[in-house]
Amino acid sequence: MLKLQSVMTYYGRIMALRGISLHVDPGEIVAIVGPNGAGKTTALNTISGVLAPKSGRIVFDGKDVAGKPTDSLVDMGLVQVPEGRQLFAGMSVYENLMLGAYRRSSADKKTRLRDDLDRIYQIFPILKERQKQSAGTLSGGEQQMLAIGRALMARPRMLLLDEPSMGLAPLVVKEIFKVIADLRKERKTTVLVVEQNVKAALTVAKRAYVLETGRVVMEGASSELSKNPEIQRAYLGKGYKHMVE
């Protein structure tokens, strides 16, 4: 469904992505994990068209979309949930959700919008309760739910999630990742998730790519990666003693 081939992205003269290649098959949940500054968010922003790659190919649904504007990608069904939620704090929960449907045609909105909203309220009952509240008053977990809900209002076929666990308590993280897993199961939504919380990401994703200094240094099935001693040492907190020795 999504293929990256040797994608390079620069910030000015700094090479942030040093030619990364990855793919996500339809209906798959794939994670990009790695330390801060590895280029994870750059990768997502390059895929979603927020940044333009300097070279390489990005193929979504068989079409080369490298450098295409974000709005046209949303029309194609590729929707990003940005890092730090980026909600409109002064607007209500309902209004934020409606903004997610902004790019949809008016005919489409007329017929299906109400159903879609109901379904999102089903997934996140708390959002229904708070639909009139302004987004800024929500807790961190609720804001993340709203950010995902807003993305779902665009009827995505593929979701790009940037650090959905950021700043959330472990229990809330679990809840968010359960929703991600359910989305795949119930709606066959394909998901590419970027995470620093490697443990959570490897639990929900089938496969993962480990990014370090703009390069993919490991890849494979999550089940294999979570048992990999290097991953355990660097990200999962096991064998920490060895590291400080």
List residues binding other proteins (CB under 8 A). Answer: 3, 5-6, 8, 15, 18-23, 55-56, 215-220, 224, 227-230
Sheet with 190-195: list strands edge to edge. Answer: 78-81, 158-162, 190-195, 29-33, 207-212, 215-221
Alpha-carbon gap, residue 57 to 98, rounded angstroms: 33
> Residue 20 or 194: which CB sits closer to other proteins?
20
Q: How far is the CB of 122 from other proteins (least distance, A)?
A: 34
| C-beta of 87 vs 158, nearer to other proteins | 158
**Please, what is the minimum distance in Å from the beta carbon of residue 186 to other proteins?**
24
Q: Provide the token pair at 69.
A: 């504007």
For the chain, what is the largest distance between any 2 Cα atoms, rounded to a whole number of angstroms? 64
| Spatial CB neighbours of 223, under 8 Å, sequence gap ≥ 6 | none
Identify the bridge partners of residue 57 per DSSP, sorted by sequence position.
5
Q: What does the DSSP 8-state code read for residue 236?
A: S
Interatomic CA distance for residues 12 and 4, integer angstroms: 21
Please state the closest distance from residue 189 (CB atom) to other proteins, in A: 22
Least separation in angstroms between CB 124 and other proteins: 35
Query: Closer CB to other proteins, residue 53 or residue 100?
Result: 53
Exposure b/e, 180-208, CB count within 10 A at least 16 = b: beebbeebebbbbbbbbbbbbbbbbbbbb
Two structure tokens written together for 207: 């496969």
Q: How far is the CB of 70 from other proteins (least distance, A)?
A: 24
Nearer to other proteins, 64 or 230 (CB): 230
Q: Smaller CB distance to other proteins: residue 14 or 107? A: 14
What is the Cα–Cα distance from 39 to 9, expressed in whole angstroms?
Answer: 9
We find the least distance from the C-beta atom of residue 19 to other proteins, in angstroms, to be 5
Rank residues 10 and 94 by Cβ distance to other proteins and give the closer one. 10
